[in-house]
Amino acid sequence: MPDSRDLRPETLAAQALGWIETGTRAIVPSIVPATTFERGSDLGYPGGASYGRHGDALATRQAEALLARLEGGERALLFASGMAAMAAVFQTLRVGDHVVVQQPCYYGVGQWVRGQGVARGLSHTFVPAGDMDALDDAVRPGETRVVWIETPTNPTWDVVDIGAAAAIARGAGALLVVDSTVATPVLTRPIASGADIVMHSATKYLNGHSDVLAGALVVRAARRDVIERLIAVRNDNGAVLGPFEAWLLLRGMRTLFPRVRQASASAAAIAERLADHRAVVQVMYPGLANRPGHTIAARQMAGGFGGMLSFRPRGGRAGALAVHGRLAVFKRATSLGGVESLVEHRASIEPAGSKVPEDLLRLSVGLEHPDDLIADLDLALNSL
């Protein structure tokens, strides 16, 4: 087999880094549910694993190795959920540290910072997504420890310039953390643009089958000190992913590239159709040339603009709810990144004070035929 350093990411993902089971020569890794492992007579661990809470399950280590390789990081760490992964970053900080968080982003981040973060003695500043002047004004050299961005942003799907944000964070001595759940390493590799940590809600595209709750952090090679702090937080909190869930996640990542590319192509076709529809007021998708940030997206996202988009139908909240209720191929459910297409009236589940428009419908485009998805939308919209 060629040196894996010469293989393209699609090949590494499809073959799960080329692992073959040592004893049986199976091409699919086994699930090893053990939580404890035998020590040698010298009190060492000859198998390299000691205890399940340390993330020592074979499937966990395999999935982490693949994700680190795909993102170009030194180490990936899996967590029991995306929220657990997110919280671990902030839990490495100390009382009095300052963080900067973009808005909008996944609402759970803002809730954690306002609640648990304040309770832990962290101060925070929120800045508009993509506003580099506001970000530059918000950071405090010597005080700001984390700058948190998400791109594309949920649920408006604007694109943030990772390289520009990295330069600002680095100048202040802060870590840049990028939530790249929607872009995935198929479309964007934040570490290559200067990010220190990439965060994923692995529940979404990395798994891709809506049957695993998981989170992940990938850390660049130059920040091994950060890796050790994150490992300590994960161990202390017991927030590790179980071996069966890790095995399912690894299974999902093996089809990551074709899934994301097909979803992106279908989302682009749907966005173009909705942009021309008489019953649609606005379409939010980074692949549309008239969207703010499209130039950044075209430079930063390789091979597509993602499988997520939002739109605002005519008729305000009532019109949005009418369309939402009439869709049949799109399933009414929270989450994203699965093989099935989902629609969500986002304002209905946002926390109090959210600025998400009351007429916004969020679409997660799956692997169905795009013509069927477009026909479903047409049927619902034509009734307005």
Is residue 103 within 8 A of residue 110, CB to CB? The reply is yes
Instruction: List active site positions.
Output: 53, 106, 179, 204
338 Cβ contact partners less than 8 Å away, ≥ 6 residues apart: 204, 208, 209, 210, 364, 366
Per 3-state DSSP, the chain is made up of helix, strand and coil in percentages (nearest 5) of: 40, 15, 45
Token couple for 168: 């600002």
CA 343 to chain CA centroid, Å, is 18
Q: Print burial letters for 159-196: b (CB count within 10 Å at least 16), e (below 16).
A: bbbbebbbebbeebebbbbbbbbbbbbbbbbbbebbbb
First to last CA, the chain: 58
Is residue 67 within 8 A of residue 191, CB to CB? The reply is no
List the alpha helices (DSSP H) in 92-221.
107-112, 118-119, 132-138, 162-171, 184-187
Q: Which residue has the tokens 């529809």?
A: 277
Is residue 77 within 8 A of residue 86, CB to CB? The reply is no
Calpha distance 227→343 (Å, rounded): 37
Calpha distance 50→231 (Å, rounded): 14
Rg (CA), the chain: 21
Nearest one of 83, 4, 18, 66 to 252, comparing CA atoms: 66
Is 280 strand, coil or helix? strand
Calpha distance 312→292 (Å, rounded): 17
Q: What DSSP element (H or E) covers 145?
A: strand 144-150
User: Quick one: angle between helices 82-91 and 224-237, nearest 10?
Assistant: 120
